[in-house]
Structure 1
Amino acid sequence: MIQHVPLEKVMFLDIETVPQHGNWDDMDESGKYLWDKKTKPQRKDDHTAEAFYAERGGIMAEFGKIICISVGMLDKSDKLLIRSFYGDDEKTMLEDFGRIFNKPRLRDVILCAHNGKEFDFPWIARRFLINGLQPPMPFQMFGKKPWEIPHLDTMELWKFGDYKSYISLELLAHVFGIPTPKDDIDGSMVASIYHTEKDLFRIVQYCEKDVLTLANIFRRMRQEDLLEKLD
């Protein structure tokens, strides 16, 4: 039962990703060819590789990059302390993020994200490797039994074994009566705000709202009161 999970050990996590290039023409020919080849089964006949890259280039770790990782953990006053790692230099940002797992408190941390098992957790591990870095221990799963992997996923918890079901963080927040994190932007706008408007701080604020919402969804699932963000 999730009521038995030690909440002080849970790290609530969300990432924001974008296509590596703001413009299709900036990608090398090899990259264009491989993108076309990989995405052809997903595209409609009239949907070009270029148009699909603008829409979905930030979904695949091989063609995108992480621009923000926000994490939240409870402090001693039972408020959520949120910290964000962000920047244009992905490798430096990942190095900074990875160093936090050297702290004794995070040696046995439990990661929690919405759709984290299919998106956030593998994305982080893949981008670490692509940047020539070793993924932090909580993201390494080789040789581990399923029950030895310290990952929680609110989407999976909501499924209750229904593998056909998908629910967004926004809808889950709505059904639990939690304020929406999408009161300014949503995920479909992130790439444009980053590459065109160049407003990374706005994206960071959005990412941190998602972390607070995620933590409160988990609290609602445990029939607990909502958390406040520590300013």
Structure 2
Amino acid sequence: MNLKVNIKDVLFLDIETVPQKERWEELTDDIKELYAKKTAYQRKEEVEPEDFYERAGIWAEFGKIICISVAYYAEKEEKRTLRVTSFSGDDEKQVLQDFKNLLETHFYKPQHLLCAHNGKEFDFPYIGRRMIIHQIELPKKLNLFGKKPWEVPHLDTMELWKFGDYKHFTSLQLLTSILGIPSPKDDIDGSDVAKVYYEEKDLERIVNYCEKDTISVAQLLLRFNNEELIQESDIVKV
């Protein structure tokens, strides 16, 4: 694709979300009614709102972020490494604040970009909405008000793969498979996250899953630009 981007200026990320409450019965009556209205189109008439609640995490109004994993490339003495870290926990406001602090101290310059798979439709707006809900002032990289499309500091690997075809959805798993990017099989996928979080209470397992997806996004951008993939030995957890 010959992307005119300095790979060192890109912060790759992925988020994991769950419903705000573990069970439908924990919701207030007004939230139940609002959820029913919000999901009416997706549910269709034959599915009751409570039977659809397991999917509440995909909406920022009814879900919350439990993990934000990030990765960035660094080069020293002509050796490229990928540094990976995560912000996670039960305190969503702290997770968001820690992520904001990273943006404002290390990825705040005009040339810096955020990159995620389907990020423009999910990750970026979800983070922004949850920050507003928690009364956290948006960092510049997420405050898009008044910006023209070419001024938005976001890259989306799914959008790049579309080549302008707005009907085309391709999962991260499919892309890594067909493009020959190593992607170890996980014991969970996105549909398992809520169960692992609420029932198994295994946040570390979710963080590991989130970091693997973030690494895959970082590899995708290299692949799109016809560059050599990063080797596992050069991936550093920080």
Aligned to 1:160: 163
* 5+ residue gaps, structure 1: none
Distance 1:71 1:43 in 2: 33
Aligned to 2:105: 103
**1:92-129: CA deviations, max 9, x gaps?**
11111111122255323200000000000000000000
2:141 to 138, 141, 146: 138
Q: Shift of the alpha carbon at 1:75?
A: 1.6
Distance 2:15 2:35 in 1: 22
- Say if 1:181 and 1:210, in contact at 8 Å, map to a contact too: no
1:176 to 179, 183, 202: 179
Instruction: Tell me the secondary structure at the aligned position of residue 3 of structure 1.
Output: coil
Distance 1:40 1:15 in 2: 25
Instruction: Tell me the secondary structure at the aligned position of residue 70 of structure 1.
Output: strand
Instruction: Tell me the secondary structure at the aligned position of residue 206 of structure 1.
Output: helix
Q: Shift of the alpha carbon at 1:158?
A: 0.4
- Say if 1:181 and 1:206, in contact at 8 Å, map to a contact too: no
Instruction: Tell me the secondary structure at the aligned position of residue 34 of structure 2.
Output: helix
- Say if 2:108 and 2:140, in contact at 8 Å, map to a contact too: no
Number of residues paired by the alignment?
230
- Say if 1:68 and 1:86, in contact at 8 Å, map to a contact too: yes
Distance 1:90 1:14 in 2: 15
Q: Shift of the alpha carbon at 1:182?
A: 4.3
Aligned to 2:93: 91
Instruction: Tell me the secondary structure at the aligned position of residue 128 of structure 1.
Output: helix
Distance 1:124 1:183 in 2: 25
Distance 2:153 2:210 in 1: 22
Aligned to 1:66: 65
**1:178-206: CA deviations, max 9, x gaps?**
12354221101001100111100000000
Instruction: Tell me the secondary structure at the aligned position of residue 3 of structure 2.
Output: helix
After the TM superposition, which of the residue ranges 45-54 and 168-177 deviates more from structure 2?
45-54
AA partner of residue 218 (structure 1): L
Instruction: Tell me the secondary structure at the aligned position of residue 192 of structure 2.
Output: helix
- Say if 1:9 and 1:106, in contact at 8 Å, map to a contact too: no
1:207 to 207, 210, 214: 210
Distance 1:183 1:104 in 2: 31
Instruction: Tell me the secondary structure at the aligned position of residue 106 of structure 1.
Output: coil
Alpha-carbon distance change, 152 to 175 in structure 1, aligned in 2, over 3 angstroms: same
Distance 1:189 1:207 in 2: 12
- Say if 1:8 and 1:74, in contact at 8 Å, map to a contact too: yes
AA partner of residue 169 (structure 2): Y
- Say if 2:108 and 2:141, in contact at 8 Å, map to a contact too: no
Percent of residue pairs bearing the same amino acid type: 53
Instruction: Tell me the secondary structure at the aligned position of residue 230 of structure 1.
Output: strand
If the length of structure 2 is used for normalisation, what is the TM-score?
0.93
* 5+ residue gaps, structure 2: none
Aligned to 1:216: 219
Q: Which runs of 4+ in 1 moved over 6 A?
A: none
Distance 2:217 2:106 in 1: 24
If the length of structure 1 is used for normalisation, what is the TM-score?
0.96
- Say if 1:61 and 1:126, in contact at 8 Å, map to a contact too: yes
**1:44-80: CA deviations, max 9, x gaps?**
32211001111x1010000000000001001224111
